């Protein structure tokens, strides 16, 4: 556990914020290396980056407020102190998509073609960002007797509930980080080349990498939720994230089938 990366007098760098910022930076640097392939100049590139960034922040915070509104109203959570960790990934994803769509329309960029590049960047950045969750103790797993269980706690800024301090827990944050890294690798090495290849029957239509990401991450998140110990908004035995992941998976499969039918399997 190291919720704080560096502390020198009044200067404090929290691990959560550090790794989230590092995740954004990693994603941006990867996208910048593909700027020419995306057909973007500097102005349109940074317009998209800033738009998606602020859309993700707004969406993640709004969905957190929706999920945790009861705890906020009861006083269990405090708006200014506790909400520094208050972001929900799917809310950020939806916010980023809406902002990205608007930015693409504003700058005359093909949304699906841009989304194919942003998808692996998102998976890569998310993998890095989840290390911040691991360091600070949020998004923790359930108790486990498996040999790789991790014990949280021991630091006043640890966000794992005190009753679980010292208890071996599933490293759910690490499961998701590794899963996201694997998704990014597959998208870059196997999916994007098929989308970006020249005309022919083997080419996949624009948007395929984005939808492949959405389907793969939805499956990953649905499974990881079974090991997480911070259940929120359970309904019919499933968490909010599992219901959202299931809906996203269905939407991705349906959209992919429609996309391939409309393009004859080619762009």
DSSP states of 1-59: --SEEEEETTEEEEHHHHHHHHHHHHHHHHHHHTHHHHT--HHHHHHHHHHHHHHHHHH
Confidence check: pLDDT of 173 > 50: yes
Task: Calculate helix-pair angle for 15-33, 42-67, nearest 10 degrees.
Answer: 150
Give the length of the chain. Answer: 267
Give the separation between CA 212 and CA 11, rounded to whole angstroms.
42
Residue with tokens 């760098």: 13
What is the reported pLDDT for 62?
A: 85
What is the reported pLDDT for 221?
A: 96
What is the reported pLDDT for 267?
A: 44
Q: What is the mean pLDDT of the chain?
A: 88
What is the reported pLDDT for 51?
A: 97
Task: Calculate helix-pair angle for 89-107, 111-136, nearest 10 degrees.
Answer: 150
> β-pairing, 4-8 with 168-169?
unpaired
What is the reported pLDDT for 156?
A: 82
Question: pLDDT tens digits for 77-114?
Answer: 655 555 555 678 999 999 999 999 999 999 999 999 99
Give the separation between CA 184 and CA 187, rounded to whole angstroms.
5
Residue 229: pLDDT band (50, 70, 90) is confident
What is the reported pLDDT for 2?
A: 80
Confidence check: pLDDT of 265 > 60: no
Residue 252: pLDDT band (50, 70, 90) is very high
Out of 23-32, 121-130, 151-160, which region has the weakest mean confidence (pLDDT)?
151-160
């Amino acid at each position: 556990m190291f919720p704080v990366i560096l502390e020198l007098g009044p200067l404090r760098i929290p691990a959560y914020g550090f790794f989230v910022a590092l995740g954004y930076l990693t994603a941006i640097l990867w996208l910048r290396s593909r700027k020419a392939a995306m057909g973007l100049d500097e102005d349109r590139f940074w317009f998209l980056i800033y738009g998606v960034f602020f859309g993700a922040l707004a969406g993640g915070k709004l969905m957190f407020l929706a999920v945790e509104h009861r705890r906020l109203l009861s006083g269990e959570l405090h708006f200014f102190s506790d909400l520094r960790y208050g972001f929900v990934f799917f809310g950020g994803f939806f916010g980023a998509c809406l902002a990205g769509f608007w930015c693409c329309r504003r700058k005359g960029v093909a949304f699906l073609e841009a989304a194919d590049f942003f998808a692996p960047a998102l998976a890569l950045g998310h993998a890095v960002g989840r290390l911040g969750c691991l360091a600070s103790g949020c998004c923790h797993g359930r108790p486990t007797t498996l040999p790789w269980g991790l014990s949280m706690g021991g630091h006043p800024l640890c966000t794992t509930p005190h009753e679980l301090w010292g208890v071996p827990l599933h490293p759910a944050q690490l499961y998701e980080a590794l899963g996201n890294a694997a998704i990014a690798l597959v998208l870059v090495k196997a999916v994007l080349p098929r989308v970006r290849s020249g005309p022919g029957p083997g080419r996949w239509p624009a948007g395929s990498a984005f939808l492949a990401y959405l389907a793969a991450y939805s499956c990953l998140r649905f499974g990881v939720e079974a090991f997480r110990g911070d259940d929120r908004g359970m309904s019919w035995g499933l968490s909010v994230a599992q219901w959202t992941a299931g809906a996203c998976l269905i939407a991705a499969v349906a959209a992919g089938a429609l996309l391939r039918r409309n393009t004859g399997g080619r762009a």
